[in-house]
Amino acid sequence: MDGASAFKILDAFVDAGLNFIDTADIYSTWVPGHHGGESETIIGKWLKRSGKRSKIVLATKVGMQMPAGKGLKKSYVFQAVEDSLRRLETDHIDLYQSHEDDPSTPLDETLGAFGELIKQGKVRAIGASNYSADRLAEALKVSKQHGVPSYQCLQPKYNLYERAEYEAALEPLILKEGIGVIPYYGLASGFLTGKYRTESDASKSARGPGVVKKYLNERGVRILDALDQVAKEHDSTPGKVALAWLIARPGITAPIASATSVEQVQDLLDATKLELDQASIEALNEVSA
């Protein structure tokens, strides 16, 4: 979306009392004509114009393919962080995340580079995104062995529909190690809001066909039915219930969801205030297991 529309949403988000904004250097390379950095640039212009930098926890990522390179080698991380700081028009990033694992670079090299950025005041804390349990555990071990900063949080794909991969190995690890979790696709690309219930609903947005193909099956319908029921009991909506379910999960710090209108920001705020009873949580657990 354009800057003016984004500014309204970001203003509404912060004015509502919410404060965590997550982006990445590669956003939004999938849009025709984009090369990455567009999201950071819009957020940076908003930060400069609004003066609200101190009111937010700003997170971005490094490691995926950009025109200037990719990976987590020290030299590239140093280059990428300067590019992100320039686009974001800020002097520090609150949470800097490895966007994906880079098996070709030793973990101590990457973590050491992050350590130098923390000493310089350019980064406050670090996190890992899209890491397997084995690699995250290895990274935590390397941090202890080498005396370098450790990943404070994990950003995995996790929602009411996509549970198995995260819960099998990552959840036990983060609970044992006390790692924060900020799952992305909290609403399964909008499917869990209930707006994609038939093949014809696919035309409602550009991502619609993909969402319907991936999620609209027997299990997906069962999950939507359960969300409808719980939403009715709590005078709420399926999307708010899906996010409230995530918030209630053990170890979850804050689910990430996108908003493309000021009205959707209100939905996000409502979700943070919705406390599900145990019976509702168990019903959702069972139908989505």
Question: Catalytic residue numbers?
Answer: 27
* Terminal alpha carbon distance of the chain: 35
Q: How many residues belong to the chain? A: 289
Can you give the three-state secondary structure of the chain, one letter per residue?
Answer: CCHHHHHHHHHHHHHCCCCEEECCCCCCCCCCCCCCCHHHHHHHHHHHHHCCHHHCEEEEEECCCECCECCCCHHHHHHHHHHHHHHHCCCCEEEEEECCCCCCCCHHHHHHHHHHHHHCCCEEEEEEECCCHHHHHHHHHHHHHHCCCCCCEEECECCCCCCHHHHHHHHHHHHHHCCEECCECCCHHHHHHCCCCCHHHHHHCCCHHHHHHHHCCHHHHHHHHHHHHHHHHCCCCHHHHHHHHHHHCCCECCCCCCCCCHHHHHHHHHHHHCCCCHHHHHHHHHHHC
Inter-helix orientation angle 218-233/278-288, to 10°: 170
CA distance 14 to 148: 33
In the block, which residue shows the tokens 């992305």?
184
